[in-house]
């Protein structure tokens, strides 16, 4: 993509309304535009990242055996009256009336909607187990929307719902999502730590929040330092097998949010304890028959007896993750995207757009990289080198290739790694080789055979 044609409305000044790095950088890098409090348009660069995050979330849901559907954003109030949550949910729920004066609402979550689908179609224990998910916009009229997409009113969530005949089946489903979440966040380059949590308006008695560590996170968290050394992706996962040992292993390591942590009763010595800041990016719940019983989602059990479906729900804040990724990956100059979600892998800078030789060389590199399937954003604009460097650093593409008359005279271009800051002059061929042959390897999990080492 040529920057001269691309819609990238970067801001030179720091927007005054942004209090945290991710909000400031998303506005400055032209990723989002506020529409009203907590509601945003996603511009080109922001949407590219959002879609990449969404794709990784989807792949890991599929891998765990979850099946994608798409439920509406607007739901009938009636369903929420059946579960008893219509009044409980309070002012966070946006209530709407249609032209026939029917009460509707913009879904803050979808337990009721999925329970309605289950009761319509799932009639026998033989139809279970099922794990359904969708990736859909939610609306919560938060009292204090803030920090950009991190606490929005309209936000994109992946929410999955499990349907099982008994508690053992439901726990297996819970474990599947537990594992899938650890894998999802690890693939995004984030260290996510599951912590026991309150169930709030969703309900139930088993729940974990997944919290990623970031210096600017909203809440204080504490964890065993061994968490920092874990490699979730090293092990093979058989989702059909017994996942309880995996669950036990990852819940045995101490981790607690500020509210739950009590230094006096902490089970590990202070020398093993890491104190950090965290952002909640996922939350999973097991709530049994909380919705199925009042809503009549009942199946025939093995002896024909009626059994309410055992359920759980599993959320990931997809749009929040874009902000969280920036909180965990930035410096004074801007964003530093992990390879897995970078909007483009390479930023190609032509330092002298008016110099025919530079232009020809940069055009050629751009053409070859694009043809080789490398995602390149090519700064072909007639701007000062300083402005081009600043824009590239701000938008945080992992690799930069700088083409200019001086280097070309010596037969070289400059490669810069955005994260390490390391620069290296190299021939065009070597740069090309490095970018094409060292393209991010297909994720280890994409292969069929994986090492067993990290299995408990
Ligand atoms: N029904 C359950 C699970 S599907 C549920 O709604 N859980 S939740 O309330 O914890 O939300 C799931 C995830 O959505 C959270 O972990 C968080 O990452 C994200 N999220 C929640 N509220 C917001 C918000 N206001 N802005 C951005 N993301 C949010």
For the chain of 456 residues, list the mean pLDDT of each consecutive stretch of 10: 98 90 97 97 98 98 98 98 94 97 98 98 96 98 94 98 97 97 95 84 84 86 90 88 93 88 89 93 96 97 96 98 96 97 98 96 97 97 96 98 96 97 96 81 42 36
How much is the pLDDT for 455? 36
Q: Which helix (H) or strand (E) holds 212?
A: strand 206-213
Ligand 1 closest atom vs CA 151: 26
340 lines ligand 1 (CB under 6 A): no
**Are residues 334 and 398 in contact, defined by beta-carbon separation less than 8 angstroms?**
no
Q: Which helix (H) or strand (E) holds 406?
A: helix 405-409
How much is the pLDDT for 351? 97
Give the global pTM: 0.94
Give the residue whose CA is nearest to atom 24 of ligand 1.
151
How much is the pLDDT for 214? 85
Q: Is 279 left (phi over 0), alpha (psi -120 to 50) or beta?
A: beta
The preferred substitution site among 315, 323, 325 for testing ligand 1, maximizing ligand atoms within 8 Å of CB, is: 315
Q: Ligand 1 mean position to 309 CA, how many Å?
A: 23
279 lines ligand 1 (CB under 6 A): no
CA dihedral 150→155→160→161, nearest 10 degrees, is: 110
Q: Ligand 1 mean position to 427 CA, how many Å?
A: 48
How much is the pLDDT for 105? 98
398 lines ligand 1 (CB under 6 A): no
Question: 297: closest CA among 99, 79, 44?
Answer: 79
How much is the pLDDT for 450? 37
How much is the pLDDT for 439? 57
- Both tokens of 52, joined, read 């990449």
Considering just the CA atoms, what is the radius of gyration of the chain in Å?
24
Name beta bridge partners: 422. Answer: none
């Amino acid at each position: 993509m040529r920057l001269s044609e691309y819609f990238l409305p970067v801001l030179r000044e720091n927007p005054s309304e942004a209090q945290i790095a991710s909000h400031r950088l998303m506005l400055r890098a032209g990723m989002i535009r506020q529409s009203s409090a907590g509601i945003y348009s996603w511009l080109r660069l922001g949407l590219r990242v959002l879609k990449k995050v969404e794709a990784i979330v989807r792949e890991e849901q599929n891998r765990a055996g979850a099946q994608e559907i798409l439920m509406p954003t607007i739901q009938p109030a009636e369903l929420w009256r059946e579960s008893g949550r219509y009044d409980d949910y309070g002012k966070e729920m946006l209530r709407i009336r249609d032209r026939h004066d029917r009460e509707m609402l913009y879904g803050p979550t979808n337990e009721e909607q999925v329970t309605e689908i289950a009761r319509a179609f799932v009639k026998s224990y033989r139809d279970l187990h099922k794990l359904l998910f969708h990736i859909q916009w939610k609306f919560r009229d938060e009292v204090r929307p803030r920090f950009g997409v991190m606490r929005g009113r309209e936000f994109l969530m992946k929410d999955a719902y499990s349907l099982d005949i008994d508690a053992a089946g439901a726990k297996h489903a819970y474990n599947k999502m537990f594992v899938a979440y650890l894998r999802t966040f690890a693939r995004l380059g984030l260290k996510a730590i599951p912590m026991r949590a309150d169930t709030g308006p969703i309900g139930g008695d088993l729940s974990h929040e997944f919290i990623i560590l970031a210096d600017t996170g909203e809440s204080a968290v504490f964890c065993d330092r061994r968490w920092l050394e874990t490699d979730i992706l090293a092990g093979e996962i058989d989702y059909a097998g017994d996942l309880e040992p995996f669950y036990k292993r990852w819940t045995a390591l101490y981790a607690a949010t500020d509210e739950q942590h009590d230094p006096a009763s902490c089970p590990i010595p202070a020398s093993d304890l890491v104190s950090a800041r965290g952002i909640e990016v996922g939350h999973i719940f097991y709530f049994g028959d909380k919705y199925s019983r009042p809503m009549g989602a009942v199946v025939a059990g093995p002896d024909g007896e009626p059994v309410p479906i055992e359920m759980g729900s599993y959320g990931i804040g997809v749009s929040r993750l874009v902000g969280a990724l920036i909180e965990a990956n930035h410096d004074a100059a801007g964003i530093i995207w992990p390879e897995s979600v970078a909007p483009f892998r390479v930023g190609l800078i032509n330092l002298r757009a008016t110099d025919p030789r530079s232009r020809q060389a940069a055009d050629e590199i751009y053409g070859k990289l694009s043809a080789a399937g490398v995602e390149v954003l090519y700064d072909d604009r007639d701007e000062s080198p300083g402005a081009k460097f600043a824009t590239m650093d701000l938008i945080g593409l992992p690799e930069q290739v700088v083409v200019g008359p001086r280097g070309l005279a010596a037969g070289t271009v400059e490669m810069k790694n955005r994260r390490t800051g390391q620069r290296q002059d190299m021939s065009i061929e070597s740069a090309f080789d490095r970018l094409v042959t060292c393209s991010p390897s297909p994720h280890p999990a994409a292969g069929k055979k994986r090492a067993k080492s990290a299995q408990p």
